[in-house]
Amino acid sequence: MHVGLEREGYYGVESGRLSRSKDHEFEYVMRKVINPVPLYAKAVTLGFPVNGEWIGFDFEEGDWVLPHGEGKTKDALFRYSTRNVDGGETEGRLEVKFSEGEGVAPISNAYLEYSELKMPHEAILDGYEPGMTRVSKSYHDKEFRDNVGCFFRSRVSKLDGKIVSSNYGKIMGNIRFDPRESGWHVSHRNKPKAFGSISFTYYFNPSPNDRNLEFAPGRNLFKDLDPTEQVREP
């Protein structure tokens, strides 16, 4: 059983699966529809073509930067390192870092898992950290939580030490991280070798200094995405 609420001018909410044999008490927050805009929005799954080296990722292209992909701007840097541990498992370490003045800001208290619009309409101005680190083993990720998200800031330009231009985006949910090399699953056939992989859904506003991240589904700035890459939530 599920309970959902809808109201004109607001984003819908849903309880998730509920027991029919128990009483339930809820308090919902419904976010207003304010100003949905076109954004670059994509669900990506990326294999690491190198182990232990920093690789740039371009949010506007949705790919690794050259020579590992078609990206041109290093919005963020990712590094994956791996080692074998007891029991035949693989332990991987994922690091993400940004340039000075840029960064990532995790959101948990303001993340509404039950809402169509799970994160606030706008990215925050302050509180960005220069990076983040995750550690995961082959068959389990103790650090994984699905009820979180983060804002990020990139492409920062400064004048006299002050930020005068930057771009904002958000990552919906957590970054899924699999430290296993490609080849262990039948779906890996005919694909380039990867030392590990990550999956995440992100939104990127290409307009400098515009913190609005209320996405208008159906107006994605990415064209001709594969069905597995499409994003349907605001």
pLDDT at res. 139? 54
- Ordered by start, the domain boundaries in the chain are 35-229
Q: List pLDDT tens digits, range 17-54.
A: 555 566 556 677 889 999 999 999 999 999 999 989 99
pTM, two decimals, is 0.89
Phi/psi of residue 14, nearest 5 degrees = -145, 140
Q: List pLDDT tens digits, range 75-124.
A: 999 998 877 666 667 778 889 999 999 999 998 788 888 899 999 999 99
Report the alpha-carbon distance of residue 31 to residue 173 in Å, rounded: 18
Q: List pLDDT tens digits, range 120-138.
A: 999 999 999 999 988 776 5
Q: List pLDDT tens digits, range 189-226.
A: 556 667 788 899 999 999 999 999 999 999 999 999 99
